[in-house]
Amino acid sequence: MLREYGGRQVTVNDEGFMTDANQWTPAIADAIAGEAGLTLTPEHWKVIAFCREDAAREGQPPGLRRISKLSGVGTKELYALFPKGPGKLAARVAGLPKPHGCV
């Protein structure tokens, strides 16, 4: 389905994850985050940048443990930044698919 974020039409699946990571822009991230009740801070951006870089490298979105181990942002902090399911929410804001078996 199509959804408008940050003034652009993007395609998302029924769980709200973008289906084409190439359509993503930082403005879209701001809009998706806003919808989830978040205001993005530099710490959020650090996580988002890691997720996008890692996904581009590995061909799949990183799970929570991978983010906490490699991004320099710990699990506890990830929960504060992206409440409930940080792996899932960070991927959604970063324009990536839902991580497999994600939390």
Partner 1 sequence: MKHLVILGAGTAGTMVANRMRSRVPDDWTITIVDPAATHLYQPGLLFLPFGARDESKITRHRAKTLYGSIVWNPSSVVAVDAGRRIVSLSGGEALDYDLLVIASGSQIRPGETPGLLGEQWHRTIHDFYTLEGAQALRRALASFHGGRLVLNVVEMPIKCPVAPMEFLFLADEYFTRRGMRDRVELVYATPLDAAFTKPTCNKVLSYLIAQKRIRIETEFSAAVVDADARRLRSFDDREISYDLLVSIPTHGGAPFVEASGLGNELGFVPTHPNSLRAKADDHIFVLGDATDLPSSKAGSVAHFQAEVLQENLRRAIDGRSLDDGFDGHANCFVETGFGNALLIDFNYDTEPLPGVFPLPGIGPMRLLEESRINHWGKLAFRWLYWNALLPGRPLPVSTRMSMRGKTPAATKGDPTCCANTAAVR
User: What does the alpha-carbon distance between residue 40 and residue 44 come to, in Å, rounded to a whole number?
Assistant: 6
* Residue 88 · residue 99 · CB < 8 Å: yes
- Which range in 17-25, 28-36, 38-46, 72-80 contacts partner 1 by CB under 8 A? 72-80
Q: Which is nearer to partner 1, 4 or 58 (CB)?
A: 58
- How far CA 83 is from CA of 1, 9, 50, in Å, comes to 25, 26, 18
Which position among 61, 92, 93, 95 is part of the footprint of partner 1 (CB under 8 A)?
A: 61
> Is 102 an active-site residue?
yes
Active-site residue, selected from the candidate residues 56, 68, 102, 103: 102
DSSP symbols for 69-93 = HHSS--HHHHHHHS-S-HHHHHHHH
The answer to whether 21 contacts partner 1 (rule: CB under 8 A) is no
Return the active site residues: 102
* Sites of contact with partner 1 (CB under 8 A): 14, 60-61, 63-66, 69-70, 75-76, 78-80, 83-85, 88, 99-103
